[in-house]
Structure 1
Amino acid sequence: MKKILSKFCLTCIISIILSASVLAQEQSNRAYGTVLISGTEEPLIGATVKIKNRNIVVITDQEGKFNFPINREEEITLEISFIGFVKREINTKLPQENELIIYLEEDNLNLGEVQVFATGYQEIPKERATGSFVGLDQELISRRVSTNLIDRLEDVTSGLIFNRNSGAASSNDRISIRGRGTIFSETSPLIILDNFPYDGPLENINPNDIESITVLRDAAAASIWGARAGNGVIVITTKSGQEGKTNITFTSNTNIIEAPNLFYRPQMNIGDFVEMERTLFQRNFYNAQENSIAQNALSPVVETLIAHRNGLISEQEANQMLNAFSNQDVRNDLSRFYQRSAVQQQTALNITGGTARRTYAFSLGYDNNLSSEIGNKNDRVTISQRTNWKLLNDKLDFNLGLNYIRRSITTGTNMPTVSTIAPYVFPYSQLRDQNGNVLPVIQNFSQRFINSVANQGLLDWQYFLLDEIGQFGENNIQNEIRITTGLKYNIRPWLSIESSYQYWTNSTQNDHIQSTALFQTRDLINRFSQVDANGDLLRNIPEGSIYDLSIQNAFSHTFRNQLRLNKSFGNKLDLNGLIGNEIKDFQSLGNSIRYYGYNDDLGISQSINFLGRFPQFQNPGSLGTIPNPSGHNGAIDRFISYYANVGLTYNDKYTWTFSARQDASNLFGVDVNLRAVPLWSSGLAWNISEENFFNWDFFSFLKLRATFGSNGNINRSLSAFTTSGILGAGSNQLTRIPFSTIRNPPNANLRWEVNNVLNFGIDFDLKNDVLSGSIETYFKNGNDLIGDSFFPAATGVTSFRGNFANTSTNGVDLMLTSNNLKRGIVWKTTYLLSWVKEKVTGYENEATIISYLNNAAGNGPATPREGFPLFSLYSIPDAGLDPNTGEPRGFINGEPSTNYTGIISNLSFDNVNYHGPARPTAFGSIRNDFYWQNFNLSFNVTYRTGYFYRDFSVNYDELLRGRITHADFNQRWQEPGDELTTNVPALPTTLNPTRDVFYRLSESLVRKGDHVRLQDIRLGYTFNKTRIKSLPFESAEIYTYVNNVGILWKAEKNDPLDPDFRVNQPLRSIAAGLRINF
């Protein structure tokens, strides 16, 4: 595929260059002129002049002049635009007889962003919008370099925040729009792609195919999507064709991401850890493990101390070995042999054009990404085309869209985690000796046991970690097809009937062939081997690879029919509306199976006794069953919806909108009134600046908006009916046959979640476009949210999920654009500020105090408490360290105490600290954009405030069990007086896990998360034929982009970790790219 794509792109480029070279030999005509500011006659510097329907663009110079070299005689249309001015179109015939003099007037409505908002059902002009919309045009979407579309929304969209502490990138809780509208149901915004809900993974969408993005934030904007819009809606529109000359755009960029820093999280000194193991050995701490019949693995330090104790090595040899361990940090080897800088390469070709009867758009994209772990990579191929036809004298419109995506993920390396708990690696392990020989690392069992069974016919039980790089053998391939088609018949110029359909299907196959080159395969085969009475070795798992195969198929059909009206009554009244219905059927089916003794060359495997219980080779007294992860799953979701939307504008001053929708689902089935949910919204807008009495000279535009309505949400894991889950044979350790469990007891009253939203907004523009923007405030109440309620134990259901919870959210969104300079250097600043306050207002099932204390990461699952934010941070009051012993102290009955069991058992909401939200309550960005001649420079400063986090620190319970701990060990209390400079407790003499729990949950580790960071910098330069007439293309931009530049300020200056990235450091990246327009 790579070779085909490369040849295709090369052929296209060569053909275009050759064509341009021929044209360059023809006589050149010119389109030239001067752009002036109406009323002042001053030249407008930096205005954009474009030949309509072509990618030929120039920028006016210091005198407002422009010049196009055109290679033939023809009539063209010029589009002239500049921020804050009314766009003009001028027709001219080449060759020109005289210079064009063009005047631009100031634009009172241009707020510097998208002026038409797409909802997925219709397009709404900004001046008639009552709801809360945020629009991103192609320029802003392309500003950031990434292969993931959704990443390009971060820090440029008001009201939208990425929950960086919510876990993996694929987490459903990754994005929040104006807070969280649910507790246990779907948390992700609804994604609309080309007017239909998108069921695939967002990673499949190619950012280079996108024309615009609209974020729907309130009920009036999003209620048209009804019961799926409770978390907000993101509407994505791909590029479409346009009438005129064929336009070709070629884009290529390379993004280099620094290798992960394994030293990011502070860790205690290796030498101190070696000494701690020596101390524990002297206390006979490892005796039980040494003598265990389970043959437990012991660390190299402990094995060295045992060898010295048994007289196998001298004290001098033991000390030399221990000193070597003290100076060896496995993170150095892992960084050197396992990791690299990740590289993301992206190439895209877009072709658009058309005639009055047919327009077309075609795109081809290829991404090739090398992961930071050596041996891991992924790539993506995207092909799409959209064609629109006008038939029957323009009465009938027909469109067809075809989209194909192939995504491949190869996991060749499964990098180990640094720890002392198998199956990980000890912190001082050495992976390769001085001569370059790969060394084994201890894993699962002691080295003495492995040596003792080496001659019994087993597979090699040594773990050669470096030999497994690239051997993991997992491949995931996704194939996705999306077909859209639609008909629109214009009954009257103002009335049309439309029918549209989408078919979507995704097939994912995951192959994981675990050969005997992997330790985990050899280990499993050895465990289930046994020696018979004759001394022969029997393998209950045959020698060969283990093959895990899973296949997941999904498809959906969506049908939509609607009637659209758009009519003007005289010059005063404009009416637009639509009414329609939508039907959707989504189904998925998945199967997984494991094969043992698999021969990849022949494609055959051997049968296995999954029912038997076999003695384990390392401990014959222990019986085990052979793992069988086979199983299957499936789901059916069906929706039917009816909707209507109407907008009425009078005299361009007053606008009223109303929308209503009713959704029904197969998940709700007992009562028709519960199965279907009516949702609605209404909005008003008043363009005050159009009133005759409006005479505020410093305002050129002022508009007030107010909306109220309701959105919904659904929890697909629940149903009104009793549902069961079929578990595979491997889930039952006794019978080894499949069985079912009750997942949901019957709930005849199960219903949709509903969010009622009240929104107020002001849009404004100051005179001369000095400052423009919008200010909005909103109030959102979540009703009938899914929550937990206690159930009588006699029913067999201890906790029951239903519509038991309520929440409230209110906030403010501010978006401002200031035009600081317009002459010579153009300088624009965009300010984004969002403030959100969330609270649980109703919840029946109160958890234990410890559950609330542990809910400190700001991630799910949530632990709701009525009257407080969904994600809150609590702590145990701390009385400081005991000045004589260094013990951490809490309070019992108001007095300092070290009775940790008593402290924890007596905790209540009356004696714990509530610090505040565990997620940011205020966030935003300040983006500066500069334009000078053909250069453009942009940098974005972001901030997050109003939240708390719990810091990491030493865990003595783990340390005394032989596991390395945090670097705070070096700051521990060691003698009286240390309590004045540290809050890290002294090293205890005995195990006391409750002591560590108290310290971990104490207020001494609570930190403020407020911070400011320089998120990114972008620099670009544009070439065009105005300056370089010999160019074989119309224009080209080269650019470089740096992301995750660094923290500028944070509240906790002494914390070495990033407030938002507590586990893994945010990786800095630098990209370079090229965009050519032919």
Structure 2
Amino acid sequence: MKIFIIGFICCLLQLSGYGQQVLKGKLVSEKDSTTVSGALISSGDRTASSDSKGEFSITLGTQNTIRVKAMGYADLQLTVKSVNELLVIYLTEQSQDLQEVIVSTGYQQLPRERATGSFVQVDQQLLNRSVTTKILDRLADVVPGLIFNRNIGTSETRGENGISVRGRNTIFAKSDPLIVLDNFPYEGDLGSINPNDIESITVLRDAAAASIWGAKAGNGVIVITSKKGKYNQPLSVNFNAVTTTGQKPDLMLQPRMSSADYIDIERLLFSRGFYTSAERSINKPALSPVVELLIAARDGKLTTDDADAQITALKSHDVRTDLEKYYYQPSFNQQYGLQINAGTPTHRYLLSAGYDKNRNTQVGNGLTRLSLRFNNNVKLIKEVLELSTGVFVADNRNQINRALNDLTTLSYGLIPYTSLADADGNALEMGKLMRPAYLSSVEALGQGLLDWRYKPLDDMCYRGYETSLSDYQLNTGLRARVMDGLNVDLMYQYAGQRFDDSELRQEQSYYVRDQINRLTIVNTDGSLTRPIPLGGIRNADLGKMGSHNLRAQLSLDKQVGAGDLSAIAGYEIREVNTYREQYMQYGYDSEHATSRVVDFIGSYKLYYNQNSASNLIPNAQSMTDATDRYISWYGNAGYLWKGKYLLSGSARVDRSNIFGVNTNQKGVPLWSAGLGWEISKEGFYHSGILPYLKARLTFGYNGNVDRSLSALTTATYNNGSGNQNNRSTGLPYATISNPPNPELRWEKVSILNAAVDFASRANRISGSIEVFDKKGLDLIGNSPLAPSTGRSTFKGNSAEMSTLGVDAALKTLNLTGRFKWSSDIFLSYSKEIIEEYNIKSNNAVSADYVLGILPLAGKPQYPMFSYKWGGLDAVGDPQGYLNGELSKDYAKIMSSATLEELVYHGPRRPVYFGALRNTFAYHDFSFSFNIAYRMGYYIRRNTVNYNDLLAGITTHSDYALRWQNPGDEMLTIVPAVPAARNLNRDRVYQFSEALVDKADHIRLQDISFDYTLRFKQHKGISQLQLYSYISNLGIIWKASKNVKDPDYLSGMVPLRQLSFGLRATF
């Protein structure tokens, strides 16, 4: 074996030794003869870079040609005739344009001029313009076709990160784009990635760009490339520090009804006897302070005047003032980054460390992140064999104070006049679950129960919730040059993640005291038996994820005939294992990490209701363990002929244990093909207006995987106790989650993309226009099944949708003298339509579409339907339409109105969106601002909910605008308070066209300012940049006058943040 290896290496050396000539040269600027450092020089597959003096040394390839690429200069290719003396090369200064960008697919890097696909690259300068903690947040309003879906609720996005690339192309599967970090899919937490470590981000938008990723690329691909060291670079140290302060939330912007209005409702409900059943209930539920005062006055325990005086005092208080004082604060974020990199002719490395500490706007909430990254490359055999290694470790800790959640789960809700503290700041008691009078009677018995009273401000410090997340990656790669232009790459990566989302509630917390007391048994001798023991209660949520990725790839980059051929072919295998377990521990002692065993199967009586004898100890025990395996073959090739005609193609076959056996056996590849034509290089083209013009056309298929489904029968097993109690037998049981489906396959998305790239003289105007047509085929959808199967619906590959759109980007250099002014603008248009969906609402029940329950063929995935509004009648009741006539038969309107009787407004997601960024520079000063806009979509305003209000739950501030007197129907659309609760009445109004507005708006997204100081090298520091950044500056214009911000209907608009920072290079 050793002889074979030695022989193989000797052959490689022999091949590389033929005709080797070493060229030494120097790069200088043609404009002012200054040296050019950091340039890339290549000859065949050999590369070198120029040092600080502009000098380089490279072994020539077989054709004795070199190519030079340097930022800010035109590319140069020349043939070397002699290597006997130093070659001085003059580079022509040039503004950066589309042709100079190197794009990354995660499998290869290639110049944009040799790509037919749709790529958008966000370079380091643009990434650094923002200062957000999360890397993907820096893509907001800077990438054509990419949008953050702010106005779609979390229940509708199923926990996704809210990003769409060229529309949503799936119905039930996640629509998040694939995230690739340093050549491999990233399964970890995106919050672990330190933005200071990132060199660039490339967004792949069409089939030619993304189909190399096969069944994972249907939603687009975001390729993140981390910084690496450079060969022949002296030691360099970069430091970044930034602090960000944010406004304290203004809760008064929330549209909530006033204390006085709510008290009036409580008086009305009291007069109707609404609280009588609660008074008499054996469960002793807590009642609000006003209701307790009314009861006391009724029972003669308090005079009517005294009760009225106390109630009047409550009317002047607003709980939001207390919440702002005790639960909210200005945010304060800190971010630090340090990078050390250097390189010799045979070795390069980069070491990076980052530290973030964020204090959020809610008291007790914050984030701490520590990240380390090390990238190392060594040329084991110069120009023949290179070894790369990398290590990435990140530790994230989130502190979350859930005391506010406890406060909002009072038995009567968080009412507007609640006081949390007295005038001296002392915590006040509130009735959370039981009436204070009952608690006083329990205390009088002296039975030894724990304190059962609730003081929210005291309770804040007894509920600790911290999420701990560790991400780590280990990767290595070996690149061997077989011959000029042909390389072999072997790459391996292990990525892991461990998380602990455990929550500890101490014994002093109200929750624990209540849980212990409610099941406490008072024995005949006066002793107590506590099924739930003294001590804390810990909810454990632990898990880990591990993935193995192995890839073998051939890369070819050669001149073939009159053109350049770039091609890759490879094979990769991948395995991802995820494990998660959840359980509860009682009697937990945090000092010794011990707990007590409890009986989850037994049933217990409630202390305050001995008739309730079937109560269980809560048990959140569960465990999941899943392994996904993938194997793939792929290939990609591009041929540039005569520097102006480009042909590209790619294909990939994916197989997985997720897919059905029939799908895996077919092995049909996902593929793409593309054409490019640089028209401006044709002899007949002589335009002085647009000296650069290129056309591109691509078509192909990408895929998407719904990991919630499986080709095999899957079941959920339950232990039969606690929350999963099997009351009939007490035995464990299983529930079928998915029936078998051997035909299950990936969702397929076909993409047709036609594009034109252009640039004027001196690149004063440059940009691109792209038109795309995406069709989602074999999408996961529901189909009806015969009742005899035991299931009414079947989820499989049965739905289709389409997306038609345009992405246009334009860059202008408005002024280019000492004072510079440039503009970047983009416009994106995306129209989504459900083409086929097999489940239809029974009897065309329009409510299913108004409430967004069912997708509907012929409409967007998120359509806005409404009931036709007939206004208020003479007594303030809302009116709808039934069979074309005004009607107040609300139940029948909900159940019988046809689809044709509904009003269709349009989509709930923007059809048009984009941004305009202006940048001004003078000497070393730079100033920019970004204006973003969204158009062509609709929102439904929140409003009063009488069904909740007449149950004692506070509601919207629209209550103040309600119908109160005859004639008000001409002045308002808010119905009168009904005589009794009627959910259908509420919904006919809440989901009527009267509450739908156009959501179009323009906002000033951010402002950035920086000043750069440059020093002579011998002073130690070569460059210092001071910068500031202001974000969330608010709405400039909006179509609706009824909402403050169309994308944040709750009133909690994004808070303005101000950042100051510095970047230093040593």
Q: Please say whether Structure 1 and Structure 2 have the same fold, judged by a TM-score greater than 0.5.
A: yes
Counterpart CA distance in 2 for 1:849 and 1:836 is 32
SS in 2 for 1:224: helix
Gaps of 5+ in 2: 1-25, 40-50, 57-66, 78-87
> 2:893 aligned with 1:903, yes or no?
yes
Summarize the Cα distance change of 1:951–1:1031 in structure 2 as closer, same or farther, 3 Å threshold.
Answer: farther
Q: How does 1:590-629 map to 2 (within 5 A)?
A: 590-622=580-612, 623-629=614-620
Work out the number of aligned pairs and report it.
1003
> 2:685 aligned with 1:685, yes or no?
no
1:730 corresponds in structure 2 to 722
Q: How does 1:21-100 map to 2 (within 5 A)?
A: 52-53=37-38, 86=74
> 2:563 aligned with 1:573, yes or no?
yes
Identity percentage of aligned residues? 40
2:626 corresponds in structure 1 to 635
1:472 corresponds in structure 2 to 463
Choose from 232, 235, 241 the match for 1:246: 235
> 2:509 aligned with 1:518, yes or no?
yes
2:933 corresponds in structure 1 to 943
SS in 1 for 2:188: coil
1:201 corresponds in structure 2 to 189
1:121 corresponds in structure 2 to 107
Counterpart CA distance in 2 for 1:715 and 1:101 is 54
Choose from 755, 760, 763 the match for 1:766: 760
Summarize the Cα distance change of 1:851–1:547 in structure 2 as closer, same or farther, 3 Å threshold.
Answer: farther
Summarize the Cα distance change of 1:427–1:1062 in structure 2 as closer, same or farther, 3 Å threshold.
Answer: closer
Q: How does 1:240-319 map to 2 (within 5 A)?
A: 240-243=228-231, 244-319=233-308
Matched to 1:1024, the amino acid is: R
Summarize the Cα distance change of 1:785–1:507 in structure 2 as closer, same or farther, 3 Å threshold.
Answer: same
Instruction: Name whichever of 362-371 and 898-907 sits farther off.
Output: 898-907
Say whether the 8 Å CA contact 2:603–2:615 is kept in structure 1: yes
2:19 corresponds in structure 1 to none
Summarize the Cα distance change of 1:282–1:116 in structure 2 as closer, same or farther, 3 Å threshold.
Answer: same
Choose from 779, 782, 789 the match for 1:788: 782
Counterpart CA distance in 1 for 2:34 and 2:853 is 53
Q: How does 1:579-594 map to 2 (within 5 A)?
A: 579-594=569-584
How far does the alpha carbon of each residue in 1:974-1024 deviate from its partner, in whole angstroms, 9 at most, with x for none? 223322221111122222221111111111111111000000000111111
Counterpart CA distance in 2 for 1:790 and 1:232 is 31
Residue 1025 of structure 1, CA deviation: 1.4
Choose from 864, 877, 885 the match for 1:873: 864
Say whether the 8 Å CA contact 2:696–2:754 is kept in structure 1: yes
> 2:340 aligned with 1:340, yes or no?
no
1:18 corresponds in structure 2 to none
Say whether the 8 Å CA contact 1:261–1:1065 is kept in structure 2: no
Q: How does 1:497-512 map to 2 (within 5 A)?
A: 497-512=488-503
1:963 corresponds in structure 2 to 953
Summarize the Cα distance change of 1:450–1:637 in structure 2 as closer, same or farther, 3 Å threshold.
Answer: same
Counterpart CA distance in 2 for 1:259 and 1:681 is 50
Summarize the Cα distance change of 1:819–1:856 in structure 2 as closer, same or farther, 3 Å threshold.
Answer: farther
1:649 corresponds in structure 2 to 640
Counterpart CA distance in 1 for 2:464 and 2:849 is 37
Summarize the Cα distance change of 1:545–1:501 in structure 2 as closer, same or farther, 3 Å threshold.
Answer: same
> 2:733 aligned with 1:748, yes or no?
no
Summarize the Cα distance change of 1:1031–1:881 in structure 2 as closer, same or farther, 3 Å threshold.
Answer: farther
Say whether the 8 Å CA contact 1:331–1:418 is kept in structure 2: no
Say whether the 8 Å CA contact 1:1041–1:1072 is kept in structure 2: yes
SS in 1 for 2:636: strand
Say whether the 8 Å CA contact 1:81–1:88 is kept in structure 2: yes
Summarize the Cα distance change of 1:990–1:692 in structure 2 as closer, same or farther, 3 Å threshold.
Answer: same
Residue 538 of structure 1, CA deviation: 2.2
2:82 corresponds in structure 1 to none
SS in 1 for 2:620: coil
SS in 1 for 2:463: coil
Matched to 2:634, the amino acid is: Y
TM-score, reference length from structure 1: 0.89
Residue 82 of structure 1, CA deviation: 11
Matched to 2:943, the amino acid is: S
Summarize the Cα distance change of 1:261–1:662 in structure 2 as closer, same or farther, 3 Å threshold.
Answer: same
How far does the alpha carbon of each residue in 1:604-661 deviate from its partner, in whole angstroms, 9 at most, with x for none? 2222111111011122211310001112111100000000111111000100001000
Choose from 792, 798, 806 the match for 1:812: 806
Matched to 2:205, the amino acid is: R
Residue 725 of structure 1, CA deviation: 1.3
1:140 corresponds in structure 2 to 126
2:772 corresponds in structure 1 to 778
Say whether the 8 Å CA contact 1:938–1:1018 is kept in structure 2: yes
> 2:1037 aligned with 1:1049, yes or no?
yes
Matched to 2:449, the amino acid is: L
Summarize the Cα distance change of 1:923–1:781 in structure 2 as closer, same or farther, 3 Å threshold.
Answer: same
Choose from 199, 213, 227 the match for 2:215: 227
Residue 411 of structure 1, CA deviation: 2.3
Counterpart CA distance in 2 for 1:931 and 1:555 is 47
1:399 corresponds in structure 2 to 388
Summarize the Cα distance change of 1:113–1:286 in structure 2 as closer, same or farther, 3 Å threshold.
Answer: farther
SS in 2 for 1:302: helix
Counterpart CA distance in 1 for 2:298 and 2:885 is 48
Summarize the Cα distance change of 1:601–1:82 in structure 2 as closer, same or farther, 3 Å threshold.
Answer: closer
2:16 corresponds in structure 1 to none
Counterpart CA distance in 1 for 2:871 and 2:441 is 52
Summarize the Cα distance change of 1:607–1:1030 in structure 2 as closer, same or farther, 3 Å threshold.
Answer: same
Say whether the 8 Å CA contact 2:765–2:810 is kept in structure 1: yes
Residue 80 of structure 1, CA deviation: 13
Gaps of 5+ in 1: 1-30, 37-42, 55-71, 90-99
Matched to 1:615, the amino acid is: K
1:374 corresponds in structure 2 to 363
> 2:314 aligned with 1:325, yes or no?
yes
Matched to 2:921, the amino acid is: Y
Say whether the 8 Å CA contact 1:84–1:768 is kept in structure 2: no
Counterpart CA distance in 2 for 1:410 and 1:463 is 23
Q: How does 1:703-718 map to 2 (within 5 A)?
A: 703-718=694-709
Counterpart CA distance in 2 for 1:985 and 1:638 is 57
Summarize the Cα distance change of 1:420–1:756 in structure 2 as closer, same or farther, 3 Å threshold.
Answer: closer
Residue 680 of structure 1, CA deviation: 0.3
2:821 corresponds in structure 1 to 827
Say whether the 8 Å CA contact 2:255–2:1051 is kept in structure 1: no
Say whether the 8 Å CA contact 1:942–1:1014 is kept in structure 2: yes
Counterpart CA distance in 2 for 1:672 and 1:690 is 45
Matched to 1:965, the amino acid is: T
Say whether the 8 Å CA contact 2:547–2:574 is kept in structure 1: yes
Instruction: Name whichever of 159-168 and 578-587 sits farther off.
Output: 159-168
1:544 corresponds in structure 2 to 535
Instruction: Name whichever of 480-489 and 894-903 sits farther off.
Output: 894-903
Counterpart CA distance in 2 for 1:851 and 1:495 is 63
Counterpart CA distance in 1 for 2:883 and 2:877 is 19
2:135 corresponds in structure 1 to 149
Residue 1042 of structure 1, CA deviation: 0.6
Matched to 2:383, the amino acid is: D
2:176 corresponds in structure 1 to 188
Say whether the 8 Å CA contact 1:227–1:677 is kept in structure 2: no
Counterpart CA distance in 2 for 1:785 and 1:80 is 47
Counterpart CA distance in 2 for 1:533 and 1:850 is 62
2:1026 corresponds in structure 1 to 1038
Matched to 2:722, the amino acid is: G
Counterpart CA distance in 2 for 1:213 and 1:862 is 36
Residue 439 of structure 1, CA deviation: 0.6
SS in 1 for 2:462: coil
Counterpart CA distance in 2 for 1:545 and 1:423 is 27
Residue 739 of structure 1, CA deviation: 2.6
Counterpart CA distance in 2 for 1:442 and 1:970 is 28
How far does the alpha carbon of each residue in 1:246-281 deviate from its partner, in whole angstroms, 9 at most, with x for none? 111000111112222322221111111111111211
